[in-house]
């Protein structure tokens, strides 16, 4: 079993194109899709759009491994669950709830969420960290019951720009406050390779009991290239060991991106082969 992101070849918002991408994913042999469309926007899905996505997945025999939810990052976006403006914060909570509803309809089990930390401000004024977390935790508190009644877990992704000490504080704070039924880690291999220079597996090892979701892709350690596994410098051998000893459940989830790298059909074929190569490494542990 193997999953690929729905936006592996750009995020076209035309229905015909979205359906075609799902057909290509299934045709390449993938059993699951990770829904990533509108992962970074304020778009609100209608229930009818949710049902349309489900019908496409059913048509092509695809199951859904998680939804990439939106933290409302658009520059013009006022829907931010960490906003100090109460109305904007509430709108941000509603935005995430919309993705939770989508995850429930698609039987996805989890949403992946970015937690953008204004860490530069924290280093200038440590008191700003307390006020920021007060707002963020208020939002997570409000979403906890909504998630649990729908049996959807929120998996926070390790960021590609936040220094380790701030990321550790974030995960420690969240995992001390919320149980495993509600909150977990989405371990992004590419981001980890860029930030954790000494040991790219640090987050996965430290929070192994919360490792519920993954975004696997590769790079050379400097840029977020979203390469196919084994094309960069990530430590796949040792990660297979860590993942095998975690609560993570198959399929393996690739967040590699085509980005016009040669022929699309050949790229999909290679992604499928290398994704299965890693899956076999995990199964062998």
Q: Is the pTM of this model over 0.85?
A: yes
Alpha helices (H) along the chain: 15-27, 47-59, 86-105, 119-124, 127-150, 164-177, 189-195, 202-206, 236-244, 264-284
| Domains of the chain, CATH where assigned | 2-284 (3.20.20.150)
pLDDT at 72: 85
Q: What is the mean pLDDT of residues 41-50?
A: 96
How far, in Å, CA of 135 to CA of 237, rounded?
39
d(CA 123, CA 127) in angstroms, rounded, equals 9
**272: pLDDT confidence band, cut at 50, 70 and 90?**
very high
In this prediction, residues 212-234 reach a mean pLDDT of 96
**Mean pLDDT for the stretch of residues 166-193:** 98
75 band by pLDDT with thresholds 50, 70 and 90: low
Structure tokens that stand for 88 in this block: 């904007």
| Assigned token pair, 72 | 């409302």
């Amino acid at each position: 079993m193997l999953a690929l992101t729905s936006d592996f070849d750009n995020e076209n918002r035309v229905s015909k194109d979205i359906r075609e991408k799902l057909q290509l994913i299934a045709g390449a042999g993938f059993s699951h899709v990770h829904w990533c469309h509108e992962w970074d926007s304020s778009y609100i899905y209608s229930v009818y759009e949710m049902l349309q996505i489900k019908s496409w997945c059913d048509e092509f025999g695809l199951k859904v491994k998680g939804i990439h939810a939106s933290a409302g990052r658009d520059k013009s976006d006022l829907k931010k669950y960490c906003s100090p403006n109460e109305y904007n914060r509430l709108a941000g909570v509603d935005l995430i709830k919309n993705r939770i509803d989508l995850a429930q309809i698609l039987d996805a089990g989890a949403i992946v969420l970015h937690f953008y930390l204004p860490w530069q401000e924290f280093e200038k004024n440590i008191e700003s960290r307390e006020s920021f977390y007060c707002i963020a935790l208020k939002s997570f508190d409000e979403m906890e019951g909504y998630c649990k009644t729908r049996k959807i877990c929120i998996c926070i992704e390790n960021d590609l720009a936040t220094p380790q000490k701030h990321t550790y504080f974030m995960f420690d704070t969240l995992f001390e406050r919320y149980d495993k039924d509600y909150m977990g880690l989405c371990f992004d291999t590419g981001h980890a390779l860029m930030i954790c220079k000494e040991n790219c597996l640090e987050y996965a090892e430290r929070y192994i009991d919360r490792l519920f979701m993954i975004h696997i892709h590769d790079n050379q350690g400097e840029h977020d290239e979203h390469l196919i596994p084994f094309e960069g410098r990530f430590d796949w051998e040792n990660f297979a060991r860590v993942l095998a000893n975690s609560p993570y459940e198959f399929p393996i989830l690739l967040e590699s991106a085509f980005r016009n790298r040669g022929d699309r059909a050949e790229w999909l074929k290679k992604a499928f082969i290398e994704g299965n190569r890693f899956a076999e490494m995990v199964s062998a542990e």
